[in-house]
Structure 1
Amino acid sequence: MNLYELKMSLKTVGDQLNQVASDIVAKAGDPSTPIQEVQDLKAKKSELQERFNILKTQHDELEASQRRDFENQKPVLAGIEEPKAKITAAKAELYRSAMRNRPLSDDVKAVLGDRNNTGGEKLLPKTVSDELLHEPFVKNPLRDVSTFTNETNLEVPKISFTLSDDDFIADTETAKEMKAEGDTVVFGRHKFKVFVPISETILKGSDANLVETVDQALESGLAAKEKKVAFAATPKTGEETMSFYSTQTGIKSVNGENKYKAIKKAIADLHEDYRDNAKIVMTYADYSDIIETLANGNTTYYDAPPERVLGKPVIFADAAVDPIIGDFRYSHFNYDIEMIYDRDKDVKTGIELFVLTAWFDHKIKLKSAFRIAKVADAPTV
């Protein structure tokens, strides 16, 4: 029985119920009417009331279902014209759809640049993945100096140009490296996941608050993973070639009696092709120690910018246990185009999780472009 038929049946039974109720009042007020007739009418009213209740329940359930279907078919972004507000609303709908395990509407896919043609996988839309990689809230300090790309099966040349004369490379270390390892870098796919807990309050709250909460957590997760693999003193199995400090990466160490002199010697040890664009990545604690030693009561050093003190721009990273000096254009992070989103549940706490699965790699394209500064008693690589 469809909704229209239910409405007609409900009206028919309702009219009969009203008529019987009126008859009961009329006959109960007539002393000449046998009481049995009144009782029969009351029994009939009870039967009609039960029929009415059954029909009403069916009617209300079917009407609510059709209303939900209608609401789901309405464009989620209807009436939103401002581009940024439309993207925020679309991203909020993406996160809510993932958490409630419902399909993403076509208008949301259109705004976010959905790349999933098969419909069988939950690929993160292009707009969202681009913002996560290129507009981070919590920054990996290397993002300002390293190369970042978003390509599948990426292969790149180690150097950006060649000459017909194959001995044009002036740096002998680079020439040896190219001869030993080839002139092309092939990026792999290392899988990792970022889990974002989302409370029901956040999920039901404003679009802006939901998007900000999820985006900041995802951006922080990506940045944390990038820093972890790039500065790992003891890399995880399979991630050895992603760390500046790994013996498999093989970056040359330069020793000095203290870190200041080690950094100066490392800069000088770089070939001029890399020295001109070199930067120093080090901890703020190491830099503070250097300033304290150099100052020796002179406040001038405390006011001087780090570049003037050390001769090259300085980037602070707490994970850089030994200063890394080099041309960071040859540090290259690549994310696979595919990022998959899904939902999960923390069985220990019962909290719902938005889950992002990503694949990436970090390659030191030329180890000759880098040096690691160590104190004199530290072993060299």
Structure 2
Amino acid sequence: MKYPLKTLKLDLQFFASGSTLFELKQNMATIGQQLQKVENELAQKAIDTTATMDEIKALQTSKSDLQMRFNVIKEQHDQMEAEQKAKFEANQSIKTIEDPKQRVIEAKAELVRSTMIGKPLSNEVLQVLGDNANPATGGEKLLPKTVTDTLLHEPFVKNPLRNISTFTQETNLEIPKISFQLDDDSFIGDTETAKEIKATGDTVTFGRHKFKVFVPISETVLNGTNTNLVATVDRALESGLAAKEKKVAFATSPKTGEEHMSFYSTQSAIKKVQGENMYKAIKNAIADLHEDFRDNARIAMRYTDYANIIEFLANGSATLYNAQPEQVLGYPVEFVDAAINPVVGDFQYSHFNYDLAMLRDRDKDVKTGVELFVLTAWIDHQIKLKSAFRIAEVATTP
């Protein structure tokens, strides 16, 4: 017994409504194959002169029936797929993520992807990342506060100076050279410090020195998981900032305009103290510091120089190899491969400042075709008191 077409369609919709999306796909594939088979048979019968009209009509009826079944199931499939997609997208809303860390990862991933395709960030993402820009004024390319804080204060690849130097993020920063005042304004314990302040003034004004960090992003990473995308970009940006910080602070041939940032530049003119070997040079340099600075002294030096000191002091004994650097040299040590000569002193007077306005943008490496996520930042490193530092050198033999 044949069903009326309307009744059959309603029955099929009822049957399809109880199926899963996967089952509907399977049903579409099955009926589609049957429909294709009937269409092929009908084409063959149409050109077969021995075929009767009843056979052709039967195939036409079968084709119409299968086509209607296919359309009903496809309609239900498309509706269910759209509903599930909408539900998935709603569940993926950053606001619905309970874990704060995961919410930031999702927002960072959106920031990177939006930057790479030139799409403005949503207000939702800006709120999660604590945006410090006003999109209405074209500030949407500014790096949001949460991202900036992560780069400056939670580095994946660390600049050893971040453990001992001062780091801030302020625009047009100006600070006093000394962090305390005495009733007798003319009293400063260290005569070198007194002379320095008299010659250069008692405040430090930070400038803006532009640099860029380029992060290559492959399509695989860009279209991959949010966690991996964020980790890849953050790691590269953090490494770029750390490399720039170390480069300017220990440059032996600073770029024009960046001379004041380096401990080794003639403009900084930090006092050099010598010794017959590296161990004695460091000891002499620390001893040469005024006691106000010596109490908080740290040593920035290459690990290879420290290893040579251990070898010199051990004299065949293995005891010193297990000792901490502070036990050997008397003061905490930070190993920096760029420190060609050890720098000793109170590193709170080494001050790095980033301008608030970090920019994000995209570029393309025309040589490789790789897309680049670009960070533009402005940095300044001020040695607030040169007299708080010494450079240890091995005396040359006359």
> Where do 1:130-149 residues align within 5 Å?
130-149=149-168
2:122 paired residue among 105, 129, 137: 105
- 2: CA distance between counterparts of 1:74 and 1:140? 39
Deviations along 1:335-370, one digit per CA (max 9) or x if unpaired, are 001100011101111000000000010000000000
Q: Does 1:317 align with 2:336?
A: yes
Counterpart code for 1:317: V
Please show how residues 190-339 of structure 1 align to structure 2 within 5 Å. Answer: 190-339=209-358
What is the CA–CA distance in structure 2 between the aligned matches of 1:75 and 1:247, rounded to whole Å? Answer: 56
Q: Say which of 73, 77, 80 aligns to 2:94.
A: 77
- Please state whether the residue corresponding to 1:191 is helix, strand or coil: strand
Aligned to 1:344: 363
1:95 matched to 2:115? The reply is no
Shift of the 327–70 alpha-carbon distance from structure 1 to 2, 3 Å rule, reads: same
Q: What do residues 51-82 of structure 1 show as CA deviations (whole Å, max 9, x unaligned)?
A: xxxxxxxxxxxxxxxxx999999984253222
CA shift, 1:166, in A, is 2.1
Give the secondary-structure state (helix, strand or coil) at the position aligned to 1:226.
Answer: helix
Name which of 180, 196, 202 aligns with 2:199: 180
Deviation at 1:118, TM superposition (A): 4.4
Give, in angstroms, the shift of residue 295 of structure 1.
Answer: 0.9
Relative distance call for 1:77 and 1:118 in structure 2 (3 A) is closer
Counterpart position of 2:103: 86
Amino acid at match of 2:245: E
Name 2:59's counterpart in structure 1.
none
Instruction: Measure, in 1, the Cα distance between the counterparts of 2:355 and 2:362.
Output: 20
Give the aligned partner of residue 188 of structure 2.
Answer: 169
CA distance in 2, matches of 1:270, 1:243: 19
Identity value in percent? 70
Structure 2 unpaired stretches of 5+? 1-45, 47-84
Say whether the 8 Å CA contact 1:76–1:105 is kept in structure 2: no
**Secondary structure of the residue that 1:167 maps to in structure 2?**
coil
Q: Helix, strand or coil: the match of 1:114?
A: coil
- Residues 153-180 of structure 1 show CA distances to partners (whole Å, capped at 9, x for unaligned) of 0001000111231232110000000100
Q: 1 CA distance for matches of 2:102 and 2:298?
A: 39
Output the CA distance in 2 between the equivalents of 1:73 and 1:154: 44
1:189: Cα distance to partner? Answer: 0.2
Match of 2:381 among 362, 369, 373: 362
CA gap 1:217/1:204 in 2 versus in 1, 3 angstroms: same
The offset of 1:299, in angstroms, is 1.4
Unaligned runs of 5+ in 1: 1-27, 29-67
TM-score after normalising by structure 2: 0.76
For the residues of structure 1 that align with 2:360 and 2:261, how far apart are their CA atoms? 25
Extract structure 1 runs of 4+ deviating beyond 6 A: 68-75
State how far apart, in whole Å, the 1-side matches of 2:288 and 2:213 are.
Answer: 40
Query: 1:288 & 1:75 partners in 2: Cα distance?
Result: 53
- How far, CA to CA, are the matches of 2:133 and 2:306 in structure 1? 48
What's the C-alpha RMSD, in Å, of the aligned pairs?
Answer: 2.2
CA contact (8 A) 1:331 1:365 kept: yes
* Counterpart AA for 2:258: E
Name 2:22's counterpart in structure 1. Answer: none
| Conserved 8 A contact 1:333-1:363 | yes
Equivalent position amino acid for 2:101 in 1: K
What letter matches 2:126 in structure 1? K
> Is this contact kept in 2: 1:88–1:208, CA < 8 A?
yes
How many angstroms apart in 1 are the aligned matches of 2:350 and 2:168?
11
Aligned to 1:51: none
Q: State the distance in 2 between where 1:70 and 1:348 align.
A: 42
Q: Any idea what SS the aligned residue of 1:337 has?
A: coil
Partner residue in 2 for 1:117: 134
Letter in 2 for 1:280: I
For the Cα contact (< 8 Å) 1:274–1:326, is it kept in 2? yes
Distance 1:135 1:149 in 2: 13
Cα contact 1:76–1:108 (8 A) shared by 2: no
Paired with 1:215 and 1:341, the residues of 2 have a C-alpha distance of: 13
Distance (Å, rounded) in 1 between the aligned partners of 2:320 and 2:166: 32
Shift of 1:259: 0.8
Could you give the per-residue CA deviations for residues 297-339 of structure 1, whole angstroms, max 9, x where no partner exists?
1212112111111111111111000000000000000000110
**Counterparts of 1:72 and 1:352 in 2: how far apart (Å)?**
27
How many residue pairs get matched? Answer: 314
Partner of 2:79: none
Summarize deviations over 1:234-270 as a string: whole Å, max 9, x none: 1111110000000101100001111111101001000
Equivalent residues of 1:115, 1:125 under 8 A apart? yes
Q: Distance in 2 between matches of 1:70 and 1:83?
A: 22
